[in-house]
Amino acid sequence: MSENPLRRSPLHARHVEAGAKIADFGGWEMPIEYAGGGVIAEHTAVREAVGIFDVSHLGKATVRGPGAADFVNSCLTADLGKIAPGQAQYTLCCDDVSAGVVDDLIAYLYGPDHVFLVPNAANTAEVVRRLTAAAPAGIEVVGRHESYGVVAVQGPRSAELLDRLDVPTDHDYMSFVDTHVAGAEVVACRTGYTGEHGYELVIPVEHTVQVWDALLAAGQDLGVRAAGLGARDTLRTEMGYPLHGQDLLDITPVQARSAWAVGWDKPAFWGRDVLVAERPAPRRRLTGLKATGRGIPRGAHAGARRRHRGGRGHQRNLLADPANRDRAGFAGHRRRGETRRRGRGGRTRPPAGDDCHHAAFCAFTRTLVFSATGRQKVPAGNGRGTVPVVRSLTSWNTAGAPDR
């Protein structure tokens, strides 16, 4: 028996009944896609109607005590002082020495003495550990990973679905309200990670099943569909939203084009000195890619040989676009003159900590769309030996927190 058995969502039985393909996702057994449709149908449902996701694997933690919000603000990158109680904020937890992204997360501000955090599943324990170690006397950091379920309701008809269950839907983006769904107390957050209008419901674990059932029953004529994490991955990739462990791995916020999530005017946060020094000229950048051919560019194939803007890059992941039968993904781009290590057989490898990572899912998505402001097309030559032409479409630079 494994020393660390996989955790299960409170909705696990519902997923099995629906014929879902289950896989390890951040240490949890989670649905990747459901029978009777798959990733394409689920992705399309979210773009055109409404889909519901079980994202109960996401972490949860509370920080309470006198000055809890100020404490969190001195640790994480974004400036909590710019939002009011009842609002949420996309932020990053960085290593203080390297400024590498430990995790990206959402902070829900209840008040000066209470912050609720939602990290990624695999990083929750580490985020809680770092905050606990830094917390002054009187401030308590508590992991609540398995105390709540989380259901994301995403799509252009998401508000219509929740209206039928008497859930408030007119609150602002990145804000939250306490409410009830199917007799259960829930927190309804105007957040998500698909790029569509959406909500995330934080539900006491014992009531998660009844809320899930109520959503599916109320939305049948709206085209509601249960969606797995495969579609969530294609949706977020289509919007240019990074995933920790894949795109945000051994990388700083500046390199990942997530500097918009950094409160540069704050006097202190983990990794600040390193980021301030790196900001004018980062050694590499994360960039969106689209392949115009049907071949799949591998990490050391297309990315490492790709030259643009005076440097080279390597592919981190790749997904496919069914509308044009193209492929879309992301690559790290390093500046000219940086050395590369030699691997076995004399093949070049990226510098330490700069290895490529392929997509966990390779399912068809809709037409590639990026929500970045100031979007720019970065020309890239067709390096010899590559199968498709790969061209950069946009950076990660967005106007505000992504709809996580």
What is the DSSP code string of 317-334?
Answer: EEEEETTTTEEEEEEEEE
Residues 399 and 297 occupy one common structural domain? yes
- Model confidence pLDDT, tens digit, residues 75-112: 999 999 999 999 999 999 999 999 999 999 999 999 99
User: Which residue segment(s) compose the domain that 133 sits in?
Assistant: 61-143
pLDDT of residue 255: 92
Is 298 in a helix, a strand, or coil?
coil
> For position 119, which CATH number holds?
3.30.70.1400
Pair 34, 67 in one domain? no
Question: What is the pLDDT, as a whole number, of residue 301?
Answer: 42
Residue 249 lies in a domain: no
Same-domain check for residues 289 and 394: yes
43 with 152, same domain: the answer is: yes
Residue 389: its pLDDT value, please?
26
- Please indicate, yes or no, whether residues 44 and 118 belong to a single structural domain of this protein: no
Instruction: Report the alpha-carbon distance of residue 184 to residue 343 in Å, rounded.
Output: 56
- Is 119 part of any domain? yes
Paired residues of 152 in beta bridges: 53, 200
Where the chain has pLDDT below 50, the residues are 1, 299-318, 321-326, 333-404
CATH code at position 163: 3.30.1360.120
* 277 found inside a domain: no
Question: Is residue 342 within a helix (H) or strand (E), and if so which, with residue range?
Answer: strand 341-342
Q: How far is it, in rounded angstroms, from Cα 289 to Cα 329?
A: 5
Pair 170, 25 in one domain:
yes
Within-domain flag for 263: no
| Full strand arrangement of the beta sheet holding 176-181 | 176-181, 184-189, 198-204, 148-154, 50-54, 224-227
Whether residue 264 lies inside any domain: the answer is no
Together in a domain, 173 and 133 = no
Domain end residue (candidates: 203, 237, 271): 237
Q: Are 42 and 103 part of one and the same domain?
A: no
Rg of the chain, C-alpha, whole Å: 21
189 and 127 in a common domain = no
Hey, what are 239's tokens? 């919007």
Q: Looking at the 3D structure of the chain, how many domains does it have? A: 3
Q: Does residue 266 belong to any structural domain of this protein?
A: no
Domain co-membership, 108 together with 139? yes
User: Are 303 and 174 in the same domain?
Assistant: no
My answer on whether 153 and 33 are in the same domain is yes
